[in-house]
């Protein structure tokens, strides 16, 4: 029978084994939050702190981890051995780059807002139009923060993407109706096509977010007198959600980068939107088992296809 001193020694031995391990090791609780980590893990992943959830992308995509579950006093814990340090550094660089990009994107509207408010205080200025413009910058900041938080929820696994089946045609029509006024202002016609019987493996809310972001991307960038077609159909045995416009298009070199966070293909795009819409589309579609492909050319429109085999 092991006495208290024996238990203390065993616990200390276990702590030292974890702390001094050359591996990147995490101990997680039932909600995938960090309980403790090896010294190597703290060096490789300084953004992970005790009590914080581990992003699903780190567990699922970056390092091919080994996960060992065990019971401690009625609670489930998970010992995680993460893979190659190069992959961990790439993840940390991606996180740091994302943080820097968010900071940059927030500075621009905030600087505009400050300039507008300072101008409104000058003698002889009519403050009302300047304050209205400043309010528009506040809305831009709010939209960016909302999308950053939503993307963060997706990556940490707090939002379930694939849960049940959703009829697609109904969602396409709902989004088209909701964006009708904006479409008129943008001089873009929205058409909806497809089989009403087809479904996709994701929650209705998630599908609506995908369709809204695809449609809003076209309304922002397709240009006047363009037509946007939202459709659902079958191609070679796969179910394909399409958003195809006849507008300005995108250079072939830019197509692979459209789904990167904050990427804009040209100066015209740099002034509109948060730069996160298509990144969110890709994340949701990938989480639901699909893939996203973009095609098009300058003057020949842009087509984005979400393919579910």
Domain that holds residue 247: 166-308
**What are 157-185's pLDDT values in tens digits?**
545 555 567 889 999 999 999 999 999 99
pLDDT band at 226 (very low <50, low <70, confident <90, very high): very high
Residue 137 inside a domain? The answer is yes
Residue 95 inside a domain? The answer is no
pLDDT of 171: 94
**In this model, does residue 267 exceed pLDDT 60?**
no
Residue 161 inside a domain? The answer is no
Nearest to residue 298, comparing CAs of 259, 224, 254, 248? Answer: 248
> Phi and psi dihedrals of 43, rounded to 5?
-70, -45
Nearest to residue 208, comparing CAs of 284, 154, 149? Answer: 284
Let me know whether 68 and 135 are in one domain: no
Could you say which of 48, 83, 118 is where a domain stops?
A: 83
195: domain CATH number? 3.30.565.10
18: domain CATH number? 3.30.450.20
What is the full DSSP assignment across 154-221? HHTT-S----S-EEHHHHHHHHHHHTHHHHHHHTEEEEEEE-TT-EESS-HHHHHHHHHHHHHHHHHH
């Amino acid at each position: 029978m092991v006495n208290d001193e024996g238990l203390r020694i065993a616990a200390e031995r276990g702590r030292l084994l974890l702390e001094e391990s050359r591996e990147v090791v995490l101990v997680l609780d039932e909600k995938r939050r960090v309980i403790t980590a090896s010294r190597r893990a703290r060096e490789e992943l300084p953004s992970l702190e005790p009590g914080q959830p581990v992003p699903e992308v780190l567990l699922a995509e970056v390092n091919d981890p080994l996960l060992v579950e065990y019971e401690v006093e009625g609670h489930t814990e998970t010992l995680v051995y993460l893979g190659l340090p190069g992959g961990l550094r790439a993840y940390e660089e991606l996180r740091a780059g994302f943080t820097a990009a968010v900071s940059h994107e927030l500075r621009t509207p905030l600087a505009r807002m400050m300039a507008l408010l300072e101008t409104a205080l000058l003698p002889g200025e009519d403050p009302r139009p300047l304050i209205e413009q400043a309010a528009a910058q506040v809305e831009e900041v709010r939209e960016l923060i909302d999308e950053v938080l939503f993307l963060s929820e997706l990556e940490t696994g707090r939002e379930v993407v694939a849960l049940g089946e959703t009829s697609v045609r109904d969602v396409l029509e709902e989004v088209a109706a909701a964006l009708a006024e904006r479409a008129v202002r943008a001089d873009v016609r929205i058409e909806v096509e497809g089989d009403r019987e087809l479904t996709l493996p994701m929650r209705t809310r998630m599908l609506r977010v995908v369709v809204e972001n695809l449609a809003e991307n076209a309304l922002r960038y397709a240009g006047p007198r363009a037509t946007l077609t939202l459709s659902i159909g079958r191609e070679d045995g796969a179910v394909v959600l399409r958003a195809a416009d006849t507008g300005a298009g995108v250079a072939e070199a830019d197509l692979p980068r459209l789904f990167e966070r904050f990427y804009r293909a040209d100066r015209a795009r740099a002034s509109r939107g948060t730069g996160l819409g298509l990144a969110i589309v890709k994340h949701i579609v990938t989480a639901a088992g699909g893939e996203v492909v973009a095609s098009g050319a300058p003057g020949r429109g842009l087509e984005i296809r979400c393919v579910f085999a």
